[in-house]
């Protein structure tokens, strides 16, 4: 038994709706792209701006309005005409909300462009009325990272100001984009939305927490005279022996007591030295950490070690599986550390130590900062890949409190918070 065919008016109405949708889609695409011989005309530019303010809700409402008109005209449905009348009023009045009401002059400033995790970062915003007339209330938005601060500006008399303050969330180490401040005009239903930027975006660097170690780090490093080599020199700080004077020697190195006793001019001979340098390795493999907070602690530990070495005038390098961090100045190091992320596909700590010592063979102290889930076998291989004359220790961040244990010839220290770092360094010394 065959089903009855649909009425011809229903088929005609459906075809008309399909054709209408295809035509609207084609015209919208041409207007947005500016294609065709109308490109560049002021009218088309205005139409393109008008199309840009229509939201998805607005396009859905326009489609529903078209369906109601087709249903009322083709099928004679009174309900469709009633719906078309209501939707027509809503669409027509929505454009009234986009009439220009502003003229505000907006500025926003950051009290501090660089803050530490946990500190308050305040944004000060000022809205001024430079016009000679009263400005009606306005709605403005200011993106703050992934969030969006929404605030209302009241009626402003000529020359009046409206000030607001915002506190940025600084619970996590990151680089936060603040701004731009945008004035928003939108109808209550949400069919249309127009935005106007008033300011430029600014960056706020949220640095990791840092702790001072005092002189503890010096105890770990080689003596200030440096690591003695086997090469002889006529001028250095590590005294080796006395020898006969040779023309061209610095007379300041003459040892007068021996010269008087032997009757021959004797000068001091020195062994060449190199300054003690610190190599900090930060493990960014997420499998080596129990929680994200442990990784944040590790970042703070590594930056604290490097910053203390920089302030002491030591040579220091900080490397991760993702690459080295700049250690020219402490500020550049902290700015770069704000972007540090865990690298799931990275190699292990042993390979990191091997590559780091290959690039920096002059390092006299190596400190590996990792998590407490790092396997002891990997830590053992770290010691075998580093030179014998290099002092190497491992700092493991996690839930276990302060403790020390040996992994082969490598000393590994556990710490559960950044504040325990000075005590760990005293024990390691």
The pLDDT, as a whole number, for residue 23 is 55
311-346 pLDDT tens trace: 888 889 999 999 999 999 999 999 999 999 999 988
**DSSP state at residue 287:** G
More confident residue, 191 or 231: 191
The pLDDT, as a whole number, for residue 47 is 56
The pLDDT, as a whole number, for residue 46 is 54
For residue 43, the SS3 value is helix
Burial degree of 392 (CB within 10 A; 0-12, 13-18, 19+): buried
| DSSP-assigned beta bridge partners for residue 199 | none
User: Residue 350 CB: number of other CB atoms within 10 A?
Assistant: 21
| DSSP-assigned beta bridge partners for residue 88 | none
The pLDDT, as a whole number, for residue 272 is 45
Q: Do 283 and 321 touch, CB atoms closer than 8 A?
A: yes
| Percentage of the chain exceeding pLDDT 90 | 31
Q: At what angle do helices 56-75 and 78-94 cross, to 10 degrees?
A: 150
Q: What is the C-alpha to C-alpha distance for residues 259 and 269, in angstroms, rounded to an integer?
A: 14
User: Residue 320 CB: number of other CB atoms within 10 A?
Assistant: 24
Residue 374 binned pLDDT confidence (cut-offs 50, 70, 90) = very high
Provide the sign of the torsion angle of the four alpha carbons 184, 185, 190, 191, taken in this order. Answer: negative
pLDDT of 224 above 70: no
Residue 39 binned pLDDT confidence (cut-offs 50, 70, 90) = very low
Q: What is the C-alpha to C-alpha distance for residues 217 and 280, in angstroms, rounded to an integer?
A: 12
The pLDDT, as a whole number, for residue 232 is 39
The pLDDT, as a whole number, for residue 217 is 43
107-119 pLDDT tens trace: 888 888 999 998 8
The pLDDT, as a whole number, for residue 55 is 82
Q: Which fold, 105-207?
A: Immunoglobulin-like (2.60.40)
229-282 pLDDT tens trace: 444 344 444 444 788 888 878 778 888 888 888 888 888 776 544 456 889 999
* Class at the top of the CATH hierarchy for domain 277-428: alpha beta
The token pair that represents 270 in the structure block:
């020195």
Q: Do 250 and 269 touch, CB atoms closer than 8 A?
A: no
Residue 286 binned pLDDT confidence (cut-offs 50, 70, 90) = very high
The pLDDT, as a whole number, for residue 408 is 83
DSSP-derived pairing of the beta strands 403-407 and 410-415 = antiparallel
pLDDT of 64 above 70: yes
Residue 26 binned pLDDT confidence (cut-offs 50, 70, 90) = low
Residue 10 binned pLDDT confidence (cut-offs 50, 70, 90) = very low
How many whole angstroms from its chain centre is CA 52? 31
More confident residue, 381 or 193: 381
The domain limits of the chain are: 8-98, 105-207, 227-274, 277-428
How would you list the strands of the sheet with 105-110, edge to edge? 105-110, 121-128, 161-168
Element (H, E) at 238: strand 238-244
User: Is 0.85 surpassed by the pTM of this model?
Assistant: no
* Residue 425: CA count within 13 A, CB half-sphere: 26
Q: At what angle do helices 56-75 and 8-33 cross, to 10 degrees?
A: 150
* Positions of E strands within 60-181: 105-110, 114-116, 121-128, 138-144, 147-153, 161-168, 174-178
The pLDDT, as a whole number, for residue 53 is 78
pLDDT of 97 above 80: no
Length of the chain, please? Answer: 429
Of 128-137, 201-210, 318-327, 347-356, give the lowest mean pLDDT range.
128-137
Residue 58 binned pLDDT confidence (cut-offs 50, 70, 90) = confident
The pLDDT, as a whole number, for residue 346 is 87
Q: What is the mean pLDDT of residues 370-382?
A: 92
The mean pLDDT of the chain is 80
41-51 pLDDT tens trace: 455 555 566 66
In angstroms, how far is the first alpha carbon of the chain from the final one?
Answer: 95
């Amino acid at each position: 038994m065959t089903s009855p065919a649909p009425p011809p008016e229903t088929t005609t109405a459906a075809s008309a709706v399909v054709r209408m949708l295809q035509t609207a889609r084609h015209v919208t695409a041409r207007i947005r792209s500016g294609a065709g011989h109308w490109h560049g005309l002021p009218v088309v530019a205005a139409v393109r701006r008008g199309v840009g303010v229509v939201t998805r809700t607005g396009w859905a409402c326009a489609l529903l309005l078209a369906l109601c008109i087709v249903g009322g005209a083709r099928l004679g449905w009174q309900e469709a005409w009633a719906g078309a009348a209501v939707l027509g009023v809503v669409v027509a009045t929505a454009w009234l909300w986009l009439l220009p009401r502003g003229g505000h002059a907006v500025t926003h400033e950051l009290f501090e462009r660089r803050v530490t995790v946990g500190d308050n970062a305040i944004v000060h915003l000022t809205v001024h009325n430079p016009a000679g007339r009263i400005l009606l209330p306005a709605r403005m938005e200011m993106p703050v990272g992934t969030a969006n601060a929404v605030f209302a500006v009241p009626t402003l008399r000529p020359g009046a100001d409206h000030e607001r303050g915002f506190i940025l969330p600084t619970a996590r180490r990151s680089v936060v984009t603040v701004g731009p401040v945008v004035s928003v005009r939108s109808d209550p239903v949400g069919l249309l939305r127009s935005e106007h930027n008033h300011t430029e975006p600014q960056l706020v660097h949220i640095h990791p927490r840092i702790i001072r170690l005092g002189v503890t780090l010096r105890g770990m490093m080689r003596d200030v005279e440096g690591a003695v080599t086997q090469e002889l020199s006529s001028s250095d700080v590590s005294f080796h022996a006395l020898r006969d004077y040779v023309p061209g020697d610095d007379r300041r190195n003459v040892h007068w007591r021996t010269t008087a006793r032997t009757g021959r001019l004797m000068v001091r001979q020195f062994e060449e030295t190199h300054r003690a340098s610190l190599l900090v390795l930060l493990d960014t493999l997420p499998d080596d950490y129990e929680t994200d907070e442990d990784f944040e602690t590790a970042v703070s530990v590594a930056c604290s070690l490097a910053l203390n070495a920089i302030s002491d005038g030591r040579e220091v390098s900080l490397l991760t599986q993702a690459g080295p961090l700049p250690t020219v100045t402490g500020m550049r190091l902290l700015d770069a550390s704000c972007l540090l992320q865990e690298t799931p596909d990275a190699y292990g700590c042993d390979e990191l130590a091997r590559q780091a010592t290959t690039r920096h063979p002059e390092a006299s102290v190596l400190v590996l900062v990792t998590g407490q889930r790092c396997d002891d076998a990997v830590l053992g291989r770290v010691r075998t890949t580093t030179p014998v004359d290099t002092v190497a220790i491992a700092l493991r961040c996690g839930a276990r409190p302060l403790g020390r244990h040996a992994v082969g010839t490598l000393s590994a220290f556990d710490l559960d918070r950044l504040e325990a770092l000075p005590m760990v360094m005293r024990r390691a010394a």
